[in-house]
Amino acid sequence: MPGEAPLVDWLRAGPAWIPELSLVALDPDGAVIGHVVCTRGTIGAAPALGLGPLSVRPDWQRRGVGKALMHAVLGAADALGEPLVALLGSTEYYPRFGFRPASEYGIVPQHLEWGAHFQVRALTAYDPAVRGEFAYPEPFDRV
Ligand SMILES: CC(C)(COP(=O)(O)OP(=O)(O)OC[C@H]1O[C@@H](n2cnc3c(N)ncnc32)[C@H](O)[C@@H]1OP(=O)(O)O)[C@@H](O)C(=O)NCCC(=O)NCCS
């Protein structure tokens, strides 16, 4: 996604930032080689999470860092009692983490053209009654 670096800064500066759900992976020297973040979104009046950005430094890709970050953040979100995580991303990569097209849950994106790329992962606290339009926090509107 273009503009991912400023997006993280904008998110961190705003009210949607959840420190517990901002995770990094480090190499043996302590350098950041990957990160993932979930921030506060909404479905109507109900809370939900938006996942992203997720990125892994190119020289560390395809070695399981992305997989570990995804499982870690989903596990943390579940432990915190969050009901669901939404994201816009590859329909090849994310289903392996339990993501399904959001339409299967009656959840629609702000941009209908996102289609099946807009995906949802239901967590333990998922409530099927929560349906409607998912809204990312405001900084996503700037990218
Ligand atoms: C996507 C990304 C976060 C995955 O992290 P990673 O550490 O490389 O992923 P893992 O090692 O955990 O998993 C690798 C697997 O994911 C698959 N994969 C990686 N990126 C993919 C993509 N964009 N689309 C489909 N599959 C992808 C690979 O095929 C690989 O599968 P394999 O092990 O069967 O070959 C990382 O590659 C990245 O930062 N890419 C650039 C940014 C990007 O494309 N982000 C948006 C993703 S929708």
The model's pLDDT over 68-122, given as tens digits with 9 standing for 90+, comes to: 999 999 999 999 999 999 999 999 999 999 999 999 999 999 999 999 999 999 9
Using the atom order of ligand 1, give the atom closest to the CA of residue 69. 12
> Going by CA atoms, what residue is nearest to atom 4 of ligand 1?
66
Q: Do residues 71 and 63 lie in contact, with contact meaning Cβ atoms separated by under 8 Å?
A: no
Q: How far is the CA of 135 from the centre of ligand 1 (A)?
A: 25
- Looking at residue 3, its pLDDT comes to 62
| CB of 90 shorter than 6 A to ligand 1 | yes
In the DSSP assignment, the letter for residue 109 is: -
| CB of 86 shorter than 6 A to ligand 1 | no
- Looking at residue 95, its pLDDT comes to 98
Residue-wise pLDDT tens digits, 1-28: 446 779 999 999 999 999 999 999 999 9
Using the atom order of ligand 1, give the atom closest to the CA of residue 70. 12
Q: How far apart are CA 24 and CA 141, in angstroms?
A: 24
Q: How far apart are CA 70 and CA 80, in angstroms?
A: 15
pTM of the model as a whole: 0.93
